[in-house]
Amino acid sequence: MLKINIVIITILFITATACSNEPEPINFGTDQCDHCRMKIMDKKYGAELLTKKGKAIKFDAAECMVNYLSENNVNESDIDKLLVIVVNDPGNFTDAKKAVYLVSPKLKSPMGENISSFSNQSDADKFLNEFGGELMNWDGIKRKVTAK
């Protein structure tokens, strides 16, 4: 009876953790972008789409995630979270829809769109003052990337 209980508890644990909608850390230098298939290398850039089923889809840049969403007609109802890496906090995510974006040719991103993500306006303003460019929100980034 004890063995059966242990098996049941193990199965329940695996089921509960398999559907976790927490971001998966990006393994820089190993993981590949699910859009362009390049290795994800730069800890200041990257993005992750979490589905409601718990699948993590990883990208090397915000623009790859935007292109993936557009080209694959991803249904909004299937998405749990859209996350981008914060350029001034390498390796850490923020909500893509709430992020502030700086497009600056002086901040080179992996895919050449030069889009950097920030978790708040004041950090984005500091980088804008230092590097120049244009600040955008999520909708602006989507329009910019998909217009090409």
Per-residue pLDDT, 7: 47
| Range scoring the smallest mean pLDDT among 3-12, 24-33, 137-146 | 3-12
Per-residue pLDDT, 20: 59
Reported as a single tens digit per residue, the pLDDT across 22-65 is: 889 999 999 999 999 999 999 999 999 999 999 999 999 999 99
User: What letter would DSSP give residue 78?
Assistant: G
Task: Quote the radius of gyration of the chain (alpha carbons, Å).
Answer: 18
Per-residue pLDDT, 16: 47
* Buried/exposed 20-57: b ≥16 CB within 10 Å, e otherwise: eeebeebeeeebebbbeeeebebebbbbbbbeeeeebb
What are the sequence ranges of the domains in the chain? 28-146
Give the mean pLDDT of 82-105: 96
Give the mean pLDDT of 126-138: 97
